[in-house]
Amino acid sequence: MGTLKAVFSRFKFFGLVVFFLWIKTYLLYKVAFKIDTVNILQEIILMINPLSSAVFIIGISLFFSEKRRQVIMIVLSFLATLVLYFNMIYFRFFSDFITWPVLFQTSNAKDVGGSITELMNVADLVLVADLLILIILYVKKKFPLHQKSKKETGIIFSLALLLFIVNLGIAQAERPQLLTRSFDRDLLVKNIGLLNYHIYDAYIQSQSKAQRVFADSSDIIDVKNYTAAKYKKPNPELFGIAEGKNIIVISLESLQSFVINSEVNGQEITPFLNQLINESYYFDNFYHQTEQGKTSDSEFLVANSMFGRDSGAVFFTHAGNEYHALPEILNGNGYFTSVMHPNNKSFWNRDMMYQSLGYNQFFDITSFDVNEENSVGWGLKDVDFFQQSIDLLKSQPEPYYTKFITLTNHFPFELEEEDRMIEEYNSNSRTLNRYFPTVRYMDHAVELFFEQLKEEGLYEDSIFILYGDHYGISENHNKAMSMYLNKTEITPFDSVQLQRVPMIIHIPGQTNHKVFDTVSGQIDVKPTIMHLLGIEAKQDIQFGTDLFSPDRRSFVVLRDGSFVTDKYVFTNNTCYDKSTGSEIESNHCEPYISKATQDLEYSDKVLYGDLLRYYPTE
């Protein structure tokens, strides 16, 4: 104990740097990341978990000479602060923490500049206040330099390790099997700390890379048996009803179901989609199942009927995998397959991933006339996008499968006054306020697109699949959302329900329109399209089921492990009655927990092991 005291008396500057980083991290937990605790033990864990990483990181300075050591301490504290700040910026929109795959998605950086600027705040400068104090103290030489010994260096790193072990031990007692829940980043940060979480995340990512190396052809057998047992026979009245028709899929950016058949300031938000629903098959309990990959995750789900990664984006980390995707299947059935999206082809690594999925052509930004007059926010306005796409559609051989990815209704939801058809909402959230006008604009763009298709004779011989790709309003705007939805608060149950997105299947000439209340998700789109086209999906490895199947179970699994049935919602280890939103005994949800876990684990097994390379497609 005396030796430890001597070390800190000789390294007061070191202790001060560690103290500042420790307290700064804890305050960010409470203020920026809004991490809640339900008891004193959780608060103690939250308070102590930044300490071990702070001691370890600043301890690296001890490997430098005494003349450079204090400067290195400040530099290391600055780098740790950058990690905290990047996470804070990311959290402001995604309500999530950065993972290593996200950090390496550098090809996206130039395209998200406007969004990042929108999330920054002058008040963020308070994060460097401690660094300024440290610099002043260093310049004024308030702390004398000391030589250190190997023994003292060992003591510092032993202390860091001891603090981490104590922290982890208490956290494991509070939450058993903590480190098995790599998909629950909130839980990990809350218990082991943000900086320690990044180290753990690096370990998890390396593990996933290793899975492909050790996978072999026998691994696919269990998966095949599992998915075969999930298969549901198609509805005989609808099987093959769209055979030979063109398929137009529209990915509606950031569109959530709460705007459907709703108003803001007394005006309809989605008048055209509301009308289209009355002439279509509509699924009002349809959920997005994306994670950090957002739009690219939804593309992956729809194309493969498999889950994306629990962190990062499949489009970046597994673009070289072998897939048996919907575009490839349709190619084998005489379809020309394409994507239309007026963005850079490398964004989300689409140029590489689309090849793996089997698309014949990607109409990227170079296929469109994009200029300052017809662009806003993330690029080409939706009205211009659809208008310019007509000639591209006509240039394709028929039948074709073409997917459209819209842009205008993308955070930060910018819109020029000339395009605004409804006024902004009035709440404490600028994001939610601006969301409604951009949704209304997107709805108008889709309406004009349908009109143009009819004028060009492209409507009657096509079927249309329209779906929301992911949420637009994150949990950071719960206060404003509770105001709009006329609720006292947004509970975890409400947050899951807000993950519902529109799913519309429109078949011209069909009059048997219906609203389906089956609980479903994006993972169910692939088998649904295949059966509508008369392509049997039984032999395919997929984790979703035909939305129209009379035997399908009302069940959906979200990527974070939450799930929804026709009676229950399970999230954050809590079971809710779906009809009332009230917490109920966990035994009601227990029969479904293993099924949800198995769905995710088997899908991950296929993805990380690249198992479809062993599966015959003929």
Question: Catalytic amino acids?
Answer: 295
- What are the backbone angles phi and psi of residue 249, rounded to the nearest 5°? -105, 130
Per-residue tokens: 284 = 């009002």
Name the amino acid, one letter, at 210. A
- Give the count of alpha carbons within 13 A of 491, CB side only: 15
According to DSSP H, which parts of 340-491 are helical?
350-357, 382-394, 430-455, 478-484
HEC string of 32-73 equals CCCCCCCCHHHHHHHHHHHHHHHHHHHHHHHHCCHHHHHHHH
Who's near 275: CB < 8 A, 6+ residues apart?
none
Distance separating alpha carbons of residues 194 and 43, to the nearest angstrom: 15
One DSSP character per residue, 175-242 reads STTGGG-TT-HHHHHHHH-HHHHHHHHHHHHHHHHHHHHH--TTHHHHHHHHHHHH--PPPTTTTTTT
3-state secondary structure of 392: helix
Q: What are residue 247's DSSP bridge partners?
A: 401, 463
Peptide bond into 412 cis (omega under 30): yes
Give Dmax (Cα) for the chain: 87
Residue in this structure with the two tokens 């104090």, named with its chain if needed: 133
Is the sign of the CA dihedral 484, 487, 490, 495 positive or negative? negative
Name the packing angle between helices 40-59 and 150-174 (round to 10°).
Answer: 150
Question: 10 Å Cβ neighbour count for 63?
Answer: 10
561 Cα distance to chain centroid? 13
Who's near 294: CB < 8 A, 6+ residues apart?
313, 469, 470
CA angle 200, 206, 60 (to 5 degrees): 50
Per-residue tokens: 212 = 């492909």
Nearest to 413 by CA among 259, 292, 255: 255
CB 429 within 8 A of CB 408: no
Who's near 218: CB < 8 A, 6+ residues apart?
none
Pairing relation of β-strands 503-506 and 267-268?
unpaired
Q: How many helices (H) and strands (E) does the chain have?
A: 22, 19
Distance separating alpha carbons of residues 368 and 391, to the nearest angstrom: 11
Nearest to 429 by CA among 377, 491, 471, 483: 483
CB 256 within 8 A of CB 497: no
CB 37 within 8 A of CB 46: yes
Distance separating alpha carbons of residues 499 and 95, to the nearest angstrom: 14
Who's near 451: CB < 8 A, 6+ residues apart?
none
Distance separating alpha carbons of residues 526 and 529, to the nearest angstrom: 5
Pairing relation of β-strands 263-264 and 267-268?
antiparallel
